[in-house]
Amino acid sequence: MTYEEFYYSIDCKFPYHQESEWKRIIGQSIEIGEDAHFLVLQEICRVPSSEKLDQVKHMEMYKYWKQSSFSPVQDIVEPASLSYINKTEISDSEALSIMEKLSAFPKSYNALQVVLFSCPDVDELVGEKYESIVAKWKSST
């Protein structure tokens, strides 16, 4: 399965209430590589409002995702990830700091998006930083 096929197979279709299925998808994301593991993180963090997910189960899913593979990006993006799960926001300045750290890991688009949507972005500086990093990554290829 290609990254694009994987994306379309889980986008807005993530099986939050089917543990064996989300575990399978997490494993599959590691096999696919690229940014697929963080695509799954984005699905885990950004639960649609139409879905109701108990916080304990949500945290269990996140912990399983986190322990299934290791990338330094996981620890960098963790404050933003946990803000979703805990239904809070990180500050814009914290988001900017996290994005600066993520900029050293080209093509971590999904991790970067988790951060982008985890803060209020009052002055739209986080959105600008996101666009700047994406442009830098794209120009490097």
- In this prediction, residue 4 carries a pLDDT of 95
Q: What is the pTM of this model?
A: 0.93
Asked if residue 140 has pLDDT above 90, the reply is no
- In this prediction, residue 13 carries a pLDDT of 93
Asked if residue 141 has pLDDT above 80, the reply is no
- The rounded distance, in Å, linking the Cα atoms of 118 and 91 is 8
Compute the Cα dihedral for 4, 30, 28, 109 and give only its sign: negative
Structural domains of the chain, count: 1
- In this prediction, residue 122 carries a pLDDT of 95
Query: Residue 100, SS3?
Result: helix
Range of the domain at 20: 3-139
- In this prediction, residue 70 carries a pLDDT of 87
CB-based contacts of 76, cutoff 8 Å, min separation 6: 98, 101, 102, 105, 111
